[in-house]
Structure formats: C-alpha cells, structure tokens
Amino acid sequence: MNREAMFEATMMRVEHKYPMNRRQAELFLKKAMPHLKKDVYPEYDLHNIYYDTPDNALIINCLGHPQYKEKLRLRTYGEPDEQTPCFLEIKKKFKTTGVKRRIAVSEQEASAYMNEHQPLEDHSQIAREIDYLVKRGNLAQKMFIAYHRKAFSGIEERDLRITFDTDICYRLDHLSLHKTGEEKMITNEEDVLMEIKVSDRYPLWLTEILTELKLYRQTFSKYGTIYSELESRRRCETTAVPVCRNRPAFHPVYEKKENMTCLTQS
C-alpha cells in the first residue's frame, strides 16, 4: 500500500492519549460515530524501530521531563516489502512545543545508513538534522515496537483525527521492521490506547462524550513505558527485592502535554 501521499504533510496539532478497555472504546465510538468517518486508511499495523545512544541517554532524558528532548525512530505502515516506504523520523520538543520531522527512505537505505554508516541519498535540511543527531549520539537500534491501529477523522472538523491502538508488542533482538513471532506483549487483549489529534480545541460534542464516559487524558509513551519496566525488572533481579516478584504489568509513563508540529519531506 502506497502511503507517501497521505504522510507527506505539514501540520500543527496537539496529541492526547486516553488508555481504556475495549468496552469503553466501543461505547465511545457508538456515541461519536455520528461525528466521525473512517479515515482514508482506516486500519493498519505500525512497525517502528527506536534508536538511542549506547547508554540510552535519549529515553532517559525524555523520562526526566526536561525542557528540551528528542527521539529518533524508523517507521513503516504495515509489514514492509521492497515497495513499502519507510520514514526516518526525528521528534524534538522544547517546553510545551514539539516538532516532528521525517524523510521517506527505503528499508534497505535506512539499514545501510544506521548499521553500516552509509550516507543518506536525501540531502535536505531534515536529513542533515537527523544525521547530526545520529552522529552526535552514536545512535544504534534499541527496540522494535509494533501495534494495530484503527483510524477515524472528523466529518465537520477536518483537523480532527482519532486513532485506537491495540496489541502493542516489542522485541529487543534481531531488530528489523518485520515481525518474527518473538515479540512480547505489553498490553492484553482488552487494552486500547485512544489518541485524539487536533490542531486546536476539541469540539463540544467530543468534550461531552469524554466527560460522560469519564475518560481522562494520560500521555502514554510506548518506548518509555517498555524501557522503564525493563529497567525496573533488571533492578529487581540485581537487588533481589522480594516485592518485585509480584510486580504488575506495564504501567503508562506520563509526560506533560505538548503541542506537536509535524513536518514531512520526501
């Protein structure tokens, strides 16, 4: 599926996440569907590789909620093949404003660039920013994260997009954009992560539904959540703290709300 036309865009938006269960998601959609329509691409999988420094400085810095932070990931929509566009994406944040910038690359080019230090074919400003971050931090592959997404957009509000992520899983070994069957789940079959993306304010009908269903905004970081849980487990194993034996499953990692600017360049 060719998604380049869909994802080559420039947009200003806020992104808010709402963890919930499937029943809550069904109730939300039942009430919201008079105002929504299926997105251009209504259902697909997202595969991501996150990059970090040898000592995981990027994610550790992000989890500390600094005024400035940045991340780098490679993303594809669906199981990639030779024709599937991939997106090498840098996310920056200063205080409450975030900037997301990405370039389209092939899977082979991204692998050669990140793993074999081959130069990118793209020489744009965005590519230079990515290259600076990669070389400055000696970035390398750290984690594969995948999930299934359903997407809707507003009928009247053109800037409104609502997505539902399920089946979030990760893998630390043999990293590529392809699933191997060795992934570990961080959610169960009842967990749903709803994300509302809008350029400015929520429409009144959306606010009313969220209030009625008692759905509350929580910024959930998939990469941060997995990293934090793995570190907690490592410390438990190292220190042999008895209480760690009964640790619950993954918890959301909360971040301050932010505005997100998305700048995409082919």
pLDDT, one tens digit per residue, over 50-64 is 999 999 999 999 888
Dist CA 160 CA 212 (whole Å): 20
CA–CA gap between residue 164 and residue 145 (Å, rounded): 16
The DSSP bridge partners found for residue 17 are 195
Give the integer Cα–Cα distance in Å for 57 and 20.
30
Question: Any idea what DSSP says for residue 226?
Answer: H
**Is 4-241+250-265 assigned to CATH 3.20.100.30?**
yes
pTM equals 0.85
Report the pLDDT averaged over residues 21-44: 96
pLDDT at 147 (0 to 100): 96
* Model confidence pLDDT, tens digit, residues 105-157: 999 999 999 989 999 999 999 999 999 999 999 999 999 999 999 999 999 99
Say what the pLDDT of residue 8 is.
42
Residue 128 is inside which H or E element, if any? Answer: helix 125-137
Residue 31: pLDDT band with limits 50, 70, 90: very high
Going from N- to C-terminal start, the domains of the chain cover 4-241+250-265
User: Which 8-state DSSP code applies to residue 81?
Assistant: -
Question: How is residue 239 annotated by DSSP?
Answer: H
Judge contact between 22 and 167, C-beta under 8 A. Answer: no
Q: Does residue 25 have a pLDDT over 50?
A: yes
Instruction: Quote the CA–CA distance of 146 and 71 in Å, as a whole number.
Output: 17
* pLDDT per position as a tens digit, 158-186: 889 999 999 999 999 999 999 999 999 99
